[in-house]
Amino acid sequence: MKTRFLGKGGLQVSELGFGCMGLSFGYGPGLAAPEAISLMRSAHEEGITFFDTAEAYVGNEQLVGEALGPIRDQVVIATKFGWKDGSAKTGELDSSPDRIRFVAEQSLRRLKTDRIDLFYQHRVDPAVPIEDVAGTVRDLIAEGKVGHFGLSEASAKTLRRANAVQPVAALQSEYSLFTRDVEAEILPTLEELGIGFVPFSPLGKGFLGGKIDANTDFGEGDIRKTLPRFQGEAREANQRLVAAIQSLADRKSITPAQVALGWLLDQKPWIVPIPGTTKLHRLQENAGAAHVELTSAERGEIGDVLASIPVQGERYTEQMMKLLDR
């Protein structure tokens, strides 16, 4: 698999990463440890060198540390701080300098490593000046505990303020054919500042894979059970977008997921999507998107589809939307 650079500091990663969250958090019960570890090692065999986790994904960092320990020098590990007591379920944030340092030490221990390659603020904390956050991570970088600084779901204004204190290597925010909020202001700002972009949920939390329909039942512990665009009429309306992507995929003899990931990779050379999965065949399918090439006509066709089929429903609940940095 080819590689791409995130930011100006030389952080080189595979052009597709692996989002590890769903292995233990967010989409139901996840996988047993042996299966999760095996899947991450299979991802590396597919050429993936960029693995994304977080303090808030309960048990996830331990799995990542166990899986990647034997190949630590061949991979890039990203993790995140920013939730009070490490739990995203409360909706309370804490990016105080002391908390950032505490999370760094705990993450290093759980990951069984001496460095965090990319350390993200998981959500912008309005109670802590972003300059203080950036300064704390800058100090951790100077101490050799962290390699690069990242933000997640940050506004253009916040990006500029943070980058002035400590260069930001990457912004991680949601971006896909299903969620395109970042196109108006965020992407131009990233390009101007030389910051890489890491789209999470690049397959629309599975929707763009074409396997979710009106009869799909999201079980307990699956965040999609409460998200507006996965409910009732919105879910039904959004099937039109998936059907249009399926039509293009069929003509190219690839899958809808590969169209969606290929489209993201085609947007900018500094975009690195991080699809996640719990299934080996999906991992291999996603990795295959690195070989997808879109013609100018196909790009235009996708643009026409996006213009004519607006996505219905918010991507988060009202409470979750309030935590975004606008």
The pLDDT of 93-105, averaged and rounded, is 98
> What's the first-to-final CA gap in the chain, in angstroms?
35
| DSSP-based three-state secondary structure for 59 | coil
Residue 214 has pLDDT above 90, yes or no: no
- pLDDT band per the 50, 70, 90 thresholds, residue 272: very high
Dihedral pair phi/psi, residue 149, rounded to 5°: -105, 135
pLDDT of the residue at 90: 86
Q: Token pair 């292995």 is at which residue?
A: 23
Sign (positive or negative) of CA dihedral 36, 40, 46, 48: positive
Sign (positive or negative) of CA dihedral 129, 132, 138, 140: negative
Cα gap 104→139, rounded to integer Å = 12
Cα gap 223→217, rounded to integer Å = 12
Tens digits of per-residue pLDDT, 159-212? 999 999 999 999 999 999 999 999 999 999 999 999 999 999 999 999 999 999
Domains of the chain: 3-321 (3.20.20.100)
Dihedral pair phi/psi, residue 309, rounded to 5°: -125, 85
Reading the block at residue 159, the tokens are 């990006």
Residue 89 has pLDDT above 90, yes or no: no
Residue 57 among the catalytic residues: yes
Question: 168 forms bridges with which residues in the sheet?
Answer: 149
DSSP-assigned letters across all residues of 78-114: EEEE-BGGG-GGG--B---HHHHHHHHHHHHHHHTSS
Reading the block at residue 51, the tokens are 């693995």
Catalytic residue among 57, 120, 175, 316: 57
Write the DSSP symbol of residue 26: S
The pLDDT of 63-80, averaged and rounded, is 98
Dihedral in degrees, nearest 10, Cα atoms 325, 82, 77, 152: 0
Q: Which CB contacts under 8 angstroms, 24+ apart, belong to 189-192?
A: 189/156, 189/159, 189/160, 190/159, 190/270, 191/268, 191/270
Query: 1 near 31, Cβ under 8 Å?
Result: no
Tens digits of per-residue pLDDT, 241-259? 999 999 999 999 999 999 9
